[in-house]
Structure 1
Amino acid sequence: MSSDSPIQAELAIQPISRSPSPAGGDVLTLRSLVSTKDAGVIIGKGGKNVAELRDQTAVKAGVSKVIAGVHERVLTVTGSVEGVAKAYAMIVSQLSSASAASPGSPSPDAQSSIRLLISHNLMGSVIGRSGLKIKAIQDASGARMFAQKDMLPQSTERIVEVHGSSESIGRAIEDIGRALLEDWERGAGTVLFHPGVADERSGRRPGQQPGRRSNGDAPRGRGSPSPNSPATQPSNLRTQNISIPSDMVGCIIGRNGTKITEIRRLSGSKISIAKEPHDETGERMFTIVGTPEANEKALFLLYNQLESEKERRVGREQMQQDELQD
């Protein structure tokens, strides 16, 4: 059985669609977050359920490995849009049947849900201008959809919950899949979410002791050359573009550019920031140029900064609410 590698790197980067173009015959990869219990149902005894799923839908499907102390796993389904939609409909049906068989569970007619992992850069493709796209998908499929506002820790993915019957969820996922493939290029550079890869607040790898550096974080000696010096300029440079909400750009740049300068220094990547929003979402484009390793470090630092700012704002709002209640 194929499976995600849970900790190949802190930030695994790959596009939503592996297809070279949005022409016919596209292949869609759609990930979702499932509980460890549901993962067992999806796999089935001896892999029976997932094998039947592959046979009936012609998709590739797998669940990430179990990580001690982590209660969620990632389901990955790859295939044609129709095949992926049919596979998810079958999965929802399996989960509903398993839930109905449990004592004290809701009736089989109760609605189910699936938590899709969608690249932040592709959310506009799913939601549409003024929410028209997501409304059209809901009206056509009969499913209800809820997009979470915040990105998941250490990633550029967000959760889109799809609620309804297995049939309506399947129809919604087919429409979502087509929308993702239409704008597949915007999904390039997605930082995938891996449950349990790092502590949410500290960014440490599981088991890494506080204050202990990983090999890649060892400080350079005083005589070490700068990563951007011509003598050490690598040949395998990569360019990645990510979108950042406009109201978060200031916290990344910092006063007099101190924070973005530090991120550039620590990662070794060159980072440029668009002066104007790139589309109707009002988000600003960040362009990162460096080696794959340097870019991963830059993305890690950028999103750590975003997480810290979000926590700071939540804390400030809570304090304001407490003051109003006093």
Structure 2
Amino acid sequence: MREESGARINISEGNCPERIITLAGPTTAIFKAFSMIIEKLEEDISSSMTNSTATSKPPVTLRIVVPASQCGSLIGKGGCKIKEIRESTGAQVQVAGDMLPNSTERAITIAGTPQPIIECVKQICVVMLESPPKGVTIPYRPKPSGSPVIFAGGQAYAVQGQHAIPQPDLTKLHQLAMQQSPFPIAPNNQGFQGSVFLSLAGMDSSAQTSSHELTIPNDLIGCIIGRQGAKINEIRQMSGAQIKIANQVEGSTDRQVTITGSPAGISLAEYLINARLSSEATGLAAN
């Protein structure tokens, strides 16, 4: 990749749940390196689906780490710039609301097929070149493993900052997971907001597809769906699971939610839904 693109490519330490790839060089070299990385991620998704029962291919998802001082220019007044980038490229783009742990940087999550992602990265780079970072940037450095672990539906997740990262070695993590209390829906919990980084190796996409049902009170269903379905679509995208919300039944105070997918996908979708409910409970408690 270095030879073919002409970019300098460095990968951070390997003892962390996340690793950061840093690209440097002329913009043409960076875009070439980006396209090679994205094509590699696409290859991995395709090969992981060979024995999978999944009918639809999950999108390639990339997270870019950007100084927080540049995010305002990327979002634009009233969100006009980010909307323009979404519409012109066809890629899904989300700018995290909070800074990454112990840094002044924020994560931008881009999802879609390779070509729209590459075009999206180009447009983001153009904006960043036009609006250099202000002040001192404290770079995000992933911490080594040893973060809190939650265990949901037979899948363990390491919680690092605002990210839930699936851990494939469930046996090794089981005891640690059992020491943690399950994710509560309680007013004193801070909730779990922001983007979720999915390690491709952590998701068992070859596992049998199954279904799980949740019952959610009518008055809380809105916080799961979000404005124009934004939140439920985000949960679908992050987990890779299909989520269906049943129509309201007359006389019932609850709604049935059906989650379909791999065991790991179902677990993560359920976890994210509980996080939304917990966040809503925190807001209600504050009011």
Q: TM-score under structure 2 normalisation?
A: 0.48
Higher strand proportion (structure 1 or 2): 2
The structure with the larger Rg is 1
